[in-house]
Amino acid sequence: MARTALSIITPKGPYSVVSAGDLDFVFEAADDLDGNAFPCTGRELILIQNTHATDAATVTISSAPDPYGRTKDITTYALDAGEFAAFWVGKTIGWRQSDGMVYLDVAGTGTIEFAVLRPPE
């Protein structure tokens, strides 16, 4: 199955005209069956939230081999009920898969949601 695509959120910058609601964004539900993906430029901040009232869940961010063949997944990172986490991709090396995407997977009985922010160029 194909992974479910996550939307990229572009925050307003320091010289933007800001009107009511312009700074709002929404989290997207994780796909616990097929996983999620988004296009990697190396400038993404992944925000993660477990919205469940009582149950924990885990998130895995899959690494990709670098030019030296190394990988280091962030494996089953635990989030208790109501917790947030953030990960700055920062570079494409080691995170961008062969199809140009970053892969995210979830497990557990909690309810994980993602928001992927990429600043304007």
Q: What are the pLDDT tens digits along the chain (121 aa)?
A: 799 999 999 999 889 999 999 999 999 999 999 999 999 999 999 999 999 999 999 999 999 998 888 889 999 999 999 999 999 999 999 999 999 999 999 999 889 999 999 998 8
DSSP codes joined into one string, 86-116? EEE---STTT--TTSEEEEEEEESS-EEEEE
User: Rounded CA gap, 22 and 62, in Å?
Assistant: 32
Domain count, the chain: 1
Q: Say if 52 falls within a structural domain.
A: yes
pTM listed for this prediction: 0.94
Give the domain range for residue 60.
Answer: 1-9+31-76+109-121
